[in-house]
Structure 1
Amino acid sequence: MPSFSTRPPVLDLIGQTPLLELPFRKERLRIFAKAEFLNPSGSIKDRLARHIIEHAEENGMLQRDSIILECTSGNTGISLSLVGAAKGYRVKILMSRTASIERRNLIRHLGGEIELFEPTQGYATGIHLAQQMAENDSRYFLPRQFENPLNAEDHERGTALEILRQVPGQRVDAFVSGYGTGGTLTGCGRAIKRAHPSACVVAMEPAESAMLSGEMPCCHGIEGIAGGFVPPLVLSAPIDQRIKVSSEEALTMTQRLAAEYGLLVGTSSGANVCAALQMARMLGPDAQVVTILCDRAERYYSTRLFEASRHVDAFESSSPVASNSVGMPTESVLCRS
């Protein structure tokens, strides 16, 4: 009989993503972008999901009948569902009704259960609901992604060290990231600052909801970041500067990354690149500015990111099929013998 490893192989696909050098010829600038959309579920959140679940297992916090319960805009829910499926745990995700339908479908496809809520107070609504559910049922395990120090720790010991090994000359002049939970910004910021004390750690946030800049939370179109409150993890991030990016700027850059670089990424990635280019412009053409490409584009098909494509689909669907002289369709003709 063959011997089988007890570790699910899909977990070994997490991390060690490439660092891409992106030349922006029109701007005469370049930046470096960590391709986190290449993680197995399609986002950077695979890292925290694996780390938190494996830590819970090692410390006896998970039983075979445990249910992993988390509030998320979607990416963490997809990642927890992937890890849960691989390890045999039930996963229940609390999601805002405003999250894209593709994220819900991916969670369900991986066996996760979903409960939708009205985000009257942003993420805080779902976080409170998760805490109430856990108080009433001991089977629930809460990863607590917004406050769990393991989230930042994984990026500090993993993502950031990968960046420092991959960047030319192991030099980082600035690190730019938005924040959903704050784990990437805090963890990578700490490690990069430790290696390069003069490096600038930059928090990107939506111009319409620039809470770190003292503004009130408001609606914006950059899904997955700035969810209506400042997460506890962000409060310990070594932030030197804040850059605002509008939803429109993020959308335009995301479409440009696809059209000019072949990078199928989500809107938060476009926003990160916008902010990184601003930093590169400030620091000069030789500066090494690093940012994150957070997730893949497919989970945004129902959003404005793919609006133009949907209009083309609708037009083609409504157009009559061209026919030849005998009334047969002129394309996609399948002949069977």
Structure 2
Amino acid sequence: MKNGLMSLVGNTPVVELKKVNDTTSTILAKLETLNPSGSIKDVMAFYMTDVAEKKGLLKPGSKIIEETSGNTGISFAMIAALKGYRFVAVMPENMSQERRQLIQSFGAEIVLTPEEQGFPGALEKLEQMAKENQDAWLPRQFENRNNIDAHREITGKRILQAVGKDIDIFVAGVGTGGSLMGVAEALKQANPKVKIVAVEPAESAVMSGGEPHNHIIQGIGPGFIPKLVNLDLIDEIIPIREKDAVAMARKLIREEGLMVGISSGANVLASLEIARKSGQGKTIVTLLSDRGERYLSMNVL
């Protein structure tokens, strides 16, 4: 028997994708959809909250304020409900309706920022609220090193336990950069030859030198290169068009039976692309980051 809800965080299985894989490589996906709140963001939120509690930054009744595209907000809202904190999510108004509803269902508050301002606008609002709420704790997921540590110690180590160190390529989208960087550190420590591939929306391919634009692959492609991203750790960057990410997410739902979101489609599509370029018999690991139900109102899946 597990010792409480938080003991489930990161304890998600790795499965092989067979029906959508037309290459000679093995593509393995860690089902972060099975975290307690339904996304990989539980890992970071749990770890960072635990560190803050140990430092005395959080006490019963404390307020947490964070910028989010939705999943981080859902994770912190869940943890706040469990531990007796108050949580305020700051998010662009164009994020999916389900994400807002899930955050509010945990009793949290939402502050929306204009769509045209994107993530920079939400971050600006976060800084304003920080000045107005001096006693609040701000996780600052885009710059807090504990984000990387969480995925090195939890996601990365669980991948190694499930798959072993003989992984050729790891593929993940970049939102904050925490999961890509943390898993990269863990895998490279076990096998320095592992190749790290970053995924970003083609419509906002800033890591590839493009300009920021709005897109529908929620959770990745914030429109800037986050401070947590160490480009020296990344071997290749693959831009994925939003319509192609949606199409692959649909295939994963209909052919693999995996109810996943749009960024998962982008991750798998990039995994297939790198498999075709890398030769035969590679072992490629990626992440299925969140559940598809939170995108149904967008009418794309």
Per the TM superposition, whether the score is higher than 0.5 is: yes
> CA 1:63–1:237 in structure 2 vs 1: closer, same or farther (change >3 Å)?
farther
Find the counterpart in structure 2 of residue 87 from structure 1.
83
Question: Alpha carbons of 1:66 and 1:274: their partners in 2 closer, same or farther (altered >3 Å)?
Answer: same
- Residue 192 of structure 2: which of 186, 190, 197 is its match? 197
Q: Does the alignment pair 1:122 with 2:118?
A: yes
State whether residues 61 and 84 of structure 2, in contact with CA within 8 Å, keep that contact through their aligned partners in structure 1. no
1:71 paired with 2:54, answer: no
- 2:92 counterpart letter in structure 1: S
Is the partner of 1:289 in helix, strand or coil?
Answer: strand
Q: Does 1:214 align with 2:209?
A: yes
- For 2:194 and 2:58, locate their aligned partners in 1 and report how far apart those are by CA, in whole Å: 39
Moved more, 122-131 or 209-218: 122-131
Look up the match of 1:39: 35
Cα distance in 2, alignment partners of residues 188 and 152 from structure 1: 8
TM-aligned CA deviation for residue 8 of structure 1? 8.0
* Conserved 8 A contact 1:122-1:229: no
1:176–1:136: structure 2 CA closer, same or farther, 3 Å change rule? same
Q: Is the 8 A contact 1:185 1:237 kept in 2?
A: no
Flag structure 1 segments of 5+ consecutive residues without an equivalent. 1-6, 307-337
- Measure, in 1, the Cα distance between the counterparts of 2:18 and 2:61: 50
Please say which structure displays the higher CA radius of gyration: 1
The runs of 5 or more residues in structure 2 that have no matched partner are none
Separation in structure 2 between the aligned mates of residue 237 and residue 120 of structure 1, nearest angstrom? 31
| Closer/same/farther in 2, CA of residues 56 and 266 from structure 1, 3 Å limit | same
- RMSD between superposed Cα atoms in Å: 1.6
Alignment of 1:34-183 (within 5 A): 34-167=30-163, 169-183=164-178
One-letter code aligned to 1:230? I
Query: Percent identity, aligned pairs only?
Result: 45
Of residues 33-42 and 236-245 in structure 1, the stretch that sits farther from structure 2 once superposed is 236-245
TM-score between the two structures when normalised by the length of structure 2? 0.95
User: For the structure 1 residues 120 and 248, does the alpha-carbon distance in structure 2 shift closer, same or farther, using more than 3 Å as the test?
Assistant: closer
Task: Report the Cα offset of residue 119 of structure 1.
Answer: 4.0
Residue among 260, 277, 288 paired with 1:265: 260
The structural deviation recorded for 1:28 is 3.4
Task: Give yes or no for contact 1:69–1:140 (8 Å, CA) kept in 2.
Answer: yes
DSSP 3-state at the match of 1:140: coil
Larger RCO, structures 1/2 (Cα 8 Å, 6+ apart): 2
| Deviation for aligned residue 1:220 | 1.8
Runs of 4+ with deviation above 6 angstroms: none
Cα distance, 1:88 vs structure 2: 0.5
Tell me the distance in 1 between the aligned counterparts of 2:60 and 2:218.
33
**What SS is found at the alignment partner of 2:228?**
helix
